[in-house]
């Protein structure tokens, strides 16, 4: 991945799970990585491991003021911005009947509005240097219905729509925008499901296992790098064949 050497990439939700694996893999591939998260303790130690190549910024993705601060700090430290992985997300299950307005709004604010803000604030900077790559994080919950997580599902469908329209608008500026759609991946987010549900999901996958954060990081690295130079506006399922 020589195309990543010296590039600067922001990864949101980089203190844990998939985002942590993505940020580590990008740093290992030579990129300067801005780890952002609301979890300061894990975020600081994760970024510290990469010395001058890594930096941590406390960042609530649902706040436009935080986004302005993060982009400005990334430019001050590394001088340019080449990529963004919009990974931060929350999962608060609930059926149509059960889901409160507060539950619905919290998932829209972080998953959907956070993705919108990320594209808006980083694209403005990438335009200045002639391009870049944005990777948004949808889910298998963004291609079908699932009983019991109506608000989360709505946000993950929305992320695919945001991705396609941003890809159309940003292509002329050399900015590519794609979405990854993970299946069941073994992170702490799955604690919101019953253990039986997660075990069944592994069995229902053609590959007979849950995904690992690294499975998803490898796909995200491909999309953020120049290896995917003719790829934009696309959805990338990484679900071990769960939805087949």
User: Site residues for ligand NAD, window 26-45 (CB under 6 A)?
Assistant: 37-39
Site string for ligand NAD, 59-98 (x = CB under 6 A): xxxx------------------------xxxxx-------
- Which stretch, 15-23, 68-76, 93-101, 163-171, contacts ligand NAD (CB under 6 A)? 15-23
The one segment of 58-66, 73-81, 125-133, 163-171 that binds ligand NAD by CB under 6 A: 58-66
Bridge-partner residues for 16, per DSSP? none
List the end-to-end C-alpha distance of the chain, in Å, as a whole number: 31
Q: How far is CA 240 from CA 20, 60, 84, 106, 202, in A?
A: 21, 31, 25, 29, 9
> Which stretches of the chain are DSSP H helices?
17-28, 40-48, 64-78, 101-107, 114-128, 150-170, 195-204, 213-224
Token pair 């702490």 in the structure block, residue:
188
| Three-class DSSP category at 235 | strand
| Token pair of 94 as six digits | 């609930």
| 154 binds ligand NAD per the rule CB under 6 A | no
DSSP code for 51: G
CB of residue 237 vs ligand NAD: minimum separation in angstroms?
Answer: 10
Do 208 and 37 touch, CB atoms closer than 8 A? Answer: no
Q: Which is nearer to ligand NAD, 6 or 189 (CB)?
A: 189
Choice between 89 and 154, CB closer to ligand NAD? 89
Looking at beta carbons only, is 16 or 205 nearer to ligand NAD? Answer: 16
Which one is catalytic: 121, 152, 222, 242? 152
Known active-site residue 152: yes
For position 182 contacting ligand NAD by CB under 6 A, the verdict is yes
Which one, 12 or 163, has the nearer CB to ligand NAD? 12
- Are residues 8 and 31 in contact, defined by beta-carbon separation less than 8 angstroms? yes
Q: Which stretch binds ligand NAD (CB under 6 A): 76-84, 116-124, 183-191, 227-235?
A: 183-191
Q: Which residue has the tokens 């759609």?
A: 181
Give the binding-site size for ligand NAD (rule: CB under 6 A). 29
Do 174 and 134 touch, CB atoms closer than 8 A? Answer: no
167 binds ligand NAD (CB under 6 A): no
16 is a contact residue toward ligand NAD (CB under 6 A): yes
Q: Would you list the DSSP string of 157-197?
A: HHHHHHHHHHHHHHGGGTEEEEEEEE-SBSSGGGGGS-HHH
Q: CB 5 → ligand NAD: shortest distance, Å?
A: 26
Which residues in this chain contact ligand NAD in the complex, by CB under 6 A? 12-13, 15-19, 37-39, 59-62, 87-91, 110, 137, 139, 182, 184-185, 187-190
Active site residues: 152
């Amino acid at each position: 991945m020589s195309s990543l050497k010296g590039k600067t990439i922001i990864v949101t939700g980089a203190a844990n799970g998939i985002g942590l694996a993505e940020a580590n893999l990008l740093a290992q591939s030579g990129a300067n990585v801005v780890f952002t998260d609301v979890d300061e303790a894990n975020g600081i130690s994760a970024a510290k491991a990469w010395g001058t190549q890594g930096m941590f910024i406390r960042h609530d993705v649902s706040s436009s003021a935080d986004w302005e601060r993060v982009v400005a700090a990334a430019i001050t430290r590394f001088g340019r911005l080449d990529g963004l992985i919009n990974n931060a997300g929350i999962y608060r299950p609930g059926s149509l009947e059960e889901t409160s307005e507060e539950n619905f709004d919290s998932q829209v604010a972080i998953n959907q509005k956070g993705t919108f803000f990320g594209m808006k604030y980083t694209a403005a900077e990438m335009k200045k240097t002639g391009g870049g790559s944005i990777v948004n994080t949808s889910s298998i919950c963004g291609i079908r219905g699932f009983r019991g997580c109506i608000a989360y599902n709505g946000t993950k469908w929305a992320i695919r729509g945001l991705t396609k329209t941003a890809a159309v608008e940003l292509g002329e500026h050399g900015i590519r925008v794609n979405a990854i759609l993970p299946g069941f991946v073994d992170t702490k987010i799955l604690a919101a499901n019953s253990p039986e549900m997660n075990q069944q999901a592994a069995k229902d996958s053609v590959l007979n296992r849950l995904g690992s954060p690294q499975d998803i990081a490898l796909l995200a690295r491909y999309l953020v790098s120049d290896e995917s130079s003719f790829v934009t506006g696309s959805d990338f399922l990484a679900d071990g064949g769960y939805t087949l």
